[in-house]
Copies of this chain bind each other. A is one copy, B any other.
Amino acid sequence: MTALYLEDLQPGQRFTSATHALTADDIKTFAAAFDPQPFHLDEEAGARSIFGGLAASGWHTAALTMRLMVTGDVRIAGGFVGAGVDLTWPHPTRPGDTLQVFTEVVEVTPSRSKPDRGIAVLRSETRNQRGEVVQRLTSRMLVPRRPARP
């Protein structure tokens, strides 16, 4: 496990996560708790909807993406703390999909007012086993600078 400080990040670096498979039951359980809409709960309602079949809540895709980022071999020192994100879901996540997250460092900016930290902008694509992008995520992460040696 590698914990990265701001000094360790540079634009163009890429990280690839492990994979995570999800089932129809996983999709329905998440939806029942957080996004109880028919197309996330029931195959037939999904088939009649804009999704053309049972589809995971976008928030489920987002949460699984976070899981894959947070449990990976490459971590940010102090943890993944997002100052802000934006998200799109170009394809639905389906039962049986295996997700994987591909992240690229886009920008690294030391804070002007706080010398112990900075902001890294990461762009992460979550892809299914067919290579389709189910989520594009841009995150502005708070990243600590490496503490000076005493």
Contacts and interface: CB of A to CB of B under 8 A. Distances in A.
Interface in A111-138: none
A39 B82 contact: no
A23 interface: no
Interface stretch (A8-16, A62-70, A93-101): A62-70
Interface residues of A, number: 33
Interface in A40-90: 49-50, 57-59, 62-64, 66-67, 70-71, 78-89
Number of copies of chain A assembled together: 2
Contacts of A142: 50
Given A37-B80, A50-B81, A82-B89, A66 B71 contact: no
A87 B87 contact: yes
B79 A37 contact: yes
Given A49-B79, A62-B59, A78-B50, A34 B67 contact: yes
A33 interface: yes
Contacts of A70: 35-37
A38 B79 contact: yes
Most-contacted residue by chain B among A30, A37, A64 (CB, 10 A):
A37
